Structure 1
Amino acid sequence: MQGKRIFIKDIDHYLLPPNDLPASVAPSLHRIKRGVGTNGTNGEVQANGVNGDVNGHAHANGHTATNGVTPDTNGAVSNGSTNGVTNGTNGTATNGHTNGHTNGHSNGHTNGHDSVRPYPYNTPAEPGNPTVMPRALQERFHWAFLIRDPHFSVPSYFRCTIPPLDKVTGFYNYSPLEAGYDELRRHFDYLRREGLVGPRVATRSDLSVEDESKVKKTTDEICVIDADDMLDAPAATIEAFCNSVGLPYTPDMLIWDTPEDYKVACDAFEKWRGFHNDAIESSSLVARTHKHARKTEEQFDEDWRKKYGPEAAAMIRQTVDANMEDYLYMKQFAVKV
């Protein structure tokens, strides 16, 4: 592809109605193209995810990196200039909060007060399209996905909505509906059905079960990044991501240690105070020294009770259990390095 590419990171539960409700096209996206030069080209990169950055590492070379989960995971990326991938969750794995909320806006609530939302929109619905984005617009993106285990993303985001961080983030309400895994999976399956991603799977020739001779040459392979895999092997994972979406990989994508980069990071994350402190204070993305020691479910529960109390621990458990099936479904497509 010629020319520049734009990288966009977003979280899917802001593009799909919750609870599998029918979608209609957002009024701002319901436009009739007229005149010369209105045909789009695949030049954008869309990153969707679930709630946050991965361990706070969310910046590369002063350019926006790929995040997805507000505190940790699930994202999608589409053709764009991306100097690195970092995090998403329900946001493609991601630990910090990046759910499109603005100063405490959480699923229709602002600092505890109800706000009026114009949904459902009085606009056409596209059969089979679960999102508020028309298919014609989605065709212009090269999609990729960033996910993270709910055992880490859910409590990470929850922590940002309670004292003392809530006074910094401006988020005072936690809703299990914001996990976003269900929305990410439904959007992912829609893109597969429509031929906008797949059938090839990045680094996973074992999953190419369809006849590639029948696939259009413009079809983008499926690219799913698990945040924890990336933290275990950042260089190899980001190189695999770049190879999949057609970006040149260089090792300096993992380093952002200049004053200029620091200023870019601070400016970019100003809106999300409290969510990205670790990222702002870091200077590179390096492999963690020890992989996560797998805990039993009882050990997770005990940790959550100690940190957040029994009532919050029960809500975290319920949210994690409700989203594991969708996470594991996406995980089967994750790149292997």
Structure 2
Amino acid sequence: MASSPLNGHQNGSHSMASNHSQSMASSSSSAGPDGQTTAGRPLFVATHPRACSTAFERVFMVCRDELQCQHEPFSDAFYFGPEFLSHRYRHDAATRRASPAADATYKSLLDGFDQVQREGKRVFIKDMAYYLFPPAGQPAAIAPSLGAGSESGNPTVLPLDALRRFHFTFLIRHPRRAIPSFYRCTVPPVSDITGFTTFMADEAGYEELVRLFDLLVRERIISTDNVTVLDADDLLDHPEETIRQFCLRTGIKFRREMLVWGRDDAEYAAKAFAKWNGWHDDVLKSNQLHGRSQAQKSCTVESEDKEWAEKFGPEAQKVIRTVVNANIPHYEYLRQFRMAI
């Protein structure tokens, strides 16, 4: 088993912050590694950009009788709220103020999940792990709305007490697929819709996903013996079996109709995804999750570089290759824990 690519680079000791106290409803059967039940906790699918995660999320949007899907909720606080962490809109106060998420804090998001759970539905969160971390170069600190300060060994903005309330799962995709897809969304003509006008390597999200994974293992919030890690290739090659196994592991009742989406499902998804216009057009145009019609072609480094240079130009190709190579060890580390299909 490979060791974490981040060994030796974890955040060191910090003074203990006050824990955020809240009581998200949970009902269930199986106990997690910390002795608490997991099936019924808010479900957190932690991922990175362009991991086919929105197609995955659409499957569970069909289950509106038992689940309430939260589409990238922590992006509200990370990019736009008064506690914003990202550099992307740091010097663009007008965009932040104009956002519907301008008042979102990490505490208000947690409180919102709590309210949904109390009303009897299970929260299903699909979100980027990097939204829980200060960007590179910034010290680890708990979000001000959750008490500020810091916790020893915790590099995220959420107190450990809050992290323990989630049932965490992970969704990954090979960087050679995800990074070029992300880059495409940050250059014209797609960037005219997404509003992301520059490619920022620290938004690739793999390193933060590993840091979150390692933190949760250290704190016994998850166990490497039974953690659920999905690879997007498995989802695309074996959609029904992947969804069946995920449901079994997370206490969700599988229904075949989850894989086929009607008009009501499409309208619901369109409203949920509107906050990130331009990022999810392909999945919004689809009416089902089905397997790939043909196997992925084998690629060499040379053929990939040639393809990226033709699509984006030679300078962009170098940037993409650098970011892909930097994140392959993170992907491979997490992939060793993936759910076998």
Both structures adopt the same fold (TM-score exceeding 0.5): yes
In structure 2, distance between residues paired with 1:263 and 1:142: 28
For 1:193, the aligned partner's letter is R
Alignment deviations for residues 60-117 of structure 1 (CA, whole Å, 9 cap, x no partner): 367189xxxxxxxxxxxxxx8378xx9xxxx9xxxxx999656xx9931239758999
What amino acid does structure 2 have at the position aligned with 1:307? K
2:299 pairs with one of 292, 295, 310 = 295
Show the counterpart of 1:51: 49
CA spacing shift, 1:281–1:251, aligned 2, 3 Å: same
What's the secondary structure of 1:225's corresponding residue?
strand
Please identify runs of 4+ aligned residues in structure 1 that moved more than 4 A: 19-25, 37-42, 97-102, 111-122
- 1:317-332 equivalences in 2 (<5 Å): 317-332=321-336
Residue 236 (structure 2) aligned to one of 223, 231, 234: 231
Pick from 133, 149, 163 the counterpart of residue 138 of structure 1.
163
1:241 matched residue in structure 2: 246
Shift of 1:59: 4.6
Q: After superposition, what is the alpha-carbon deviation per residue over 1:283-314, rounded to whole angstroms, capped at 9, x for unaligned? A: 00000111211200111100000000000000
Equivalent position amino acid for 1:192 in 2: V
Gaps of 5+ in 1: 1-18, 66-79, 92-96, 201-220
Amino acid of the residue matched to residue 225 of structure 1? L
| Counterpart amino acid of residue 47 in structure 1 | V
Distance 1:153 1:23 in 2: 34
Greater share of residues in helix: 2
Distance 1:100 1:185, change over 3 A: same
Q: Structure 1 residue 254: deviation in Å?
A: 0.8
What number of residue pairs does the alignment pair up? 267
Three-state SS of the structure 1 residue aligned to 2:154 is: coil
Aligned to 1:205: none
- The whole-number CA distance in structure 2 between the counterparts of 1:251 and 1:176 is 38
Change (3 A) 1:292 1:124: same
Deviations for 1:105-154, whole angstroms, at most 9, x for unmatched residues? 99312397589999655732211222111111111111100000000100
Aligned to 1:107: 86
| 2:288 paired with 1:284 | yes
TM-score, scaled to structure 1 = 0.69
- Could you list the per-position Cα deviations for residues 15-63 of structure 1 after superposition, in whole angstroms to 9, with x for gaps in the alignment? xxxx9666989x9xx6654xxx857645211122111352963553671
Is residue 81 from structure 1 mapped to residue 67 from structure 2 by the alignment? yes
Task: Give me the identity figure in percent.
Answer: 32
Shift of 1:164: 0.3
- Write out aligned runs for 1:248-267 (5 A): 248-257=253-262, 259-267=263-271
Alignment of 1:198-217 (within 5 A): 198-200=223-225
Q: Structure 2: how far apart are the matches of 1:239 and 1:132? A: 33
C-alpha distance in 1 between matches for 2:20 and 2:24:
11
Paired residue type of 1:274: G
Partner of 1:68: none
Indicate if the aligned counterparts of 2:154 and 2:160 stay in contact, CA closer than 8 A: yes
Instruction: Decide whether aligned partners of structure 1 residues 199 and 53 sit closer, same or farther in structure 2, where only a CA change above 3 A counts.
Output: closer
What's the offset of the Cα at 1:273?
1.1
Output the amino acid matched with 1:250: R
Which of these residues, 307, 310, 320, is aligned with residue 306 of structure 1? 310
1:154 is aligned, of 175, 179, 192, to 179
Q: Which amino acid aligns with 1:246?
A: G
> C-alpha separation between the residues in 2 aligned to 1:318 and 1:138?
32
Deviating more after overlay: 244-253 vs 41-50: 41-50
**Which residues of structure 2 form unaligned runs of 5+?**
1-8, 27-37, 97-133
Contact 1:231 1:288 in 2 (8 A): yes
2: distance between equivalents of 1:301 and 1:152? 12
- The alignment's TM-score, normalised by the length of structure 2, stands at 0.68
Q: Does the CA-based 8 Å contact 2:62-2:261 persist in structure 1?
A: no
Q: 2:196 maps to what in 1?
A: 171
